[in-house]
Chain A
Amino acid sequence: MLLNQLSNKTVDEIDIGYWELKDNDEILWSKAFLSSLKYSEKEAKINLNYFLNHIIHKEDHDLFRNNFFSFIKNGTDFRQSMLLKSRKGKYKEFVCTTNFNFSLKLNENSRFIFFNKRKFKTNKKVSKNKFYYKETAEMTKTGSWYVDFTKQKSYWDQQTRRILEYPEDYIPSLKHSIKYFPKAYQKLAKNTFIECAYEGKKFNIEIKMLTKNNRSFWVRAMGKPVFNDLKKIIGIRGVFQDIDASKTKEISLQKTSNIVASQNKRLFNFAHIVSHNLRSHTSNLTLISELIDTYDSCEEKLSLIENVKDIANSLHETIEHLNEVVTIQTSTNKSKSLVVFDNILNQVIKSIGQIIAKENTTIHSNFSKLEAIDYIPAYLESIFLNIITNAIKYKHPDRNPIITIKSKVLDNNKILEISDNGVGIDMDKYGDKIFGMYKTFHYNDDAVGIGLFITKNQVEALNGKISVSSEVNKGTTFKIEF
C-alpha cells in the first residue's frame, strides 16, 4: 500500500507515536512514531508488511498480528507491550494500545493505534540485562511475582500477566489471590502460601492455575520468604512456569502406563488362574490313573469311574468359567449403548424375583443424579445380578436384607454404589482377595467364588474401577467407577 507521496503518509505534528487507520484501509504513521524509531519520513517503507517483517520483534509478531486484525475486523481493543527495532538495529520497548485516553484532534472516520515508548531510567547495561531476562522469561514461559506483607500488595511482572491472560495494566489482588487457582487446587495453594509466610518454608510444587478466561493449566511454582534485617518474614518472592504441555503429556502417559500395568496384571492373573485351576483337575486325573494301576481287582478299578465323572464335571465347570472370563476380555469392543440404570435393575429384579421375595429383600434405588450411562448392557446386568445376589446370599442372620443402590457424578466420574446390611467381610483379612477367583470367605455351601471375579473383570475391561468397603455385622458397599 505504497502511496506516491510519502508526505501524505505521515501525519500530524504531535509528539505521540501512532498509526491512523483510515476507512479506506490506508495506514498512516505519525512523525513521532517514525522518529522514535530513528526513521526519517523518506526512508521508511510504510506498510504493515514492513512493520511485521522488519520492525516488530518476532516474539511479539504473532500476538500483534492477531490483535491488529481483530481490532480492524471486530473493533476489539487491545494493549500489548512489544519490542520494536529502530533503524540502527536496536530494540526498544513500546506499549501499544488502541484506547489511549488522549484528546487529539482526530479524524472521526479513522481509527488509531498508539505506540508509547517505555521509559527506563536505567543505564544501558541494566536495560540490556532486563532485555535478556525478558527474553528468558518469555521463552521459558516463566512469570515472577512478589507479595509484600507490609504494604499488603502483590506485584506481577508482565510475563505473569501474559501467562494468566490478564491485561498489561491489571493490578493483582492479594486479598482475592485464591481466584487465580481452580477450586480443586485452592487448598494446596493456600497451605503452601501459609507455610511459606508463617514458617518460612520454601516451596517447589506443581499446581494448576486459572487464567482470567477461566482456562486452567499446570504450572511449576517456586517461592521463598523474604526477610528483613530482623529476620522477620516481610514477603514472598516467587516464580512460576507454564508446564501445561509437558504435564498434560506426563499425565496421559501415566494413564496409558496404568492401563498397560492393569492389563498386564489381569493377564498374569489369568495365566495363574488357568494354570492353577486346570492343574488341580489334571493332577487328580493323574492320581486316578495311578490308583488304577495300584488296584488289582476289576471291581476296585471300576469303582474309580465315579471319581472320573466328578473330575470331568468340575473340569468342565472350570473351563466354562475361564471361557466366561476370556469372553469379557475379548468383547470390550462389543457395542456400547445408552443404558438406563432403572431399566436394567428392573430386569434383574424380575429375573431373581423369587429369591428376593423369599428372603424378604427390600431394594431402594435412586438414579436421579445419573440416570443412564454408555455401557455394554449385558455387563451392567451381570454386575447388578452378582452384587445383589451376593447381598442376599450373605445376608445377616438376624435381619432381612436391605439393598440401597444409587448413582452419582463426582468430579466428572460416574459412580454407582450398592450397599447392603448383610454379614459384611473382614477387610483386614480378606480385603485383597475379595475379587479373586474361587475365593470364598463364608461357610455357605453354595459359595463358588466366581461372581465378583467376573464383575471385576467386566468393570476393568471397560476401563472402570471397582472397590469395596465393609464392616463385619454391619454390611458391605461396592463402589463402581465407570
Chain B
Amino acid sequence: MRPPTVNLACIIDDDSIYVNLLKKIINTKNLCSNILVFNNGQQSINYFETLLNNLKAEDIPEVIFLDLNMPIIDGWEFLDWFKSIKHKFKKQISLYIVSSSINPSDISKAKSIPEVYDYISKPVRVKDLETIFSKTS
C-alpha cells in the first residue's frame, strides 16, 4: 500500500460511534497518517489557539471534518471563530461540514460560507472519503 498523501486530519464531532468508524475507515484505507479528534468545538478551539502560539506545520491539519450539532460550542460557532484566524496558519486547510442535518437552510447556510469547502450529509461514504483525501493531497 502506498503511503498516505495527507499528514493530519481533524475530526470535530460528539458522536463517538461515528468518530470510531471514521477513524477505522481512514486507517484501513490508509488515507492519512495522523488523526486528531475533538468532541466539541471548544476542545478544538483550545487546540488551535495553543497551536497559533507555536506554529508547527505538521501540527496543522490539512482536512477538518466538522459536525454542526455539538454541545458547548457547536459547528456554527466554531466556524465564526475559524474565519477570523484561518489566515494565520499560512497553510491550505480544507474544511468539510459533516452533519446528519438534511435541513435545506443548514445546507445553504454552510455552502455560503467561503471557509467551508463542501457540505456532506451523513452517512459518509468510503468513496467520498477517498475522493476528499486525494483532492487534498
Contact = CB atoms under 8 A, between A and B. Distances in A.
Contacts of B126: 290-291, 293-294
Contacts, number: 68
B86 interface: no
Interface in B19-76: 20-22, 24-25, 28-29, 69, 71-72
Given A290-B126, A291-B28, A280 B18 contact: yes
Contact of B17 (A284, A438, A441): A284
Contact of A287 (B25, B29, B72, B101): B25
Contacts of A300: 28
Contacts of B103: 272
B122 A283 contact: yes
What DSSP secondary structure best describes chain B's contact surface?
loop
Interface stretch (A45-53, A107-115, A223-231, A307-315): A307-315
Main SS at interface, chain A: helix
Interface string A272-300: 10011001101111111011011100001
B98 to A, nearest CB: 10
B100 A279 contact: yes
Interface in B104-126: 122-126
A319 B15 CA distance: 17
Given A276-B100, A280-B100, A295-B28, A307 B123 contact: no
Nearest to A293: B126
User: Most chain-A Cβ atoms within 10 A of its Cβ — which of B22, B29, B72, B125?
Assistant: B72
A173 to B, nearest CB: 59
B102 interface: yes
B71 A307 contact: no
A276 B101 contact: yes
A285 B122 CA distance: 11
Contacts of B123: 282-287, 290
Contacts of A440: 71-72
A170 interface: no
Contacts of B18: 280, 283-284, 287
Nearest to B42: A443
Given A279-B101, A287-B122, A290-B126, 11 more contacts: A276-B69, A279-B122, A280-B15, A284-B17, A287-B124, A290-B125, A294-B25, A439-B71, A442-B71, A443-B72, A449-B71
Interface of B: 15, 17-18, 20-22, 24-25, 28-29, 69, 71-72, 100-103, 122-126
20 contacts: A279-B100, A279-B122, A283-B18, A283-B100, A283-B124, A284-B15, A284-B123, A287-B18, A287-B25, A287-B123, A290-B125, A294-B25, A300-B28, A307-B20, A307-B21, A311-B17, A314-B17, A442-B72, A443-B72, A447-B71
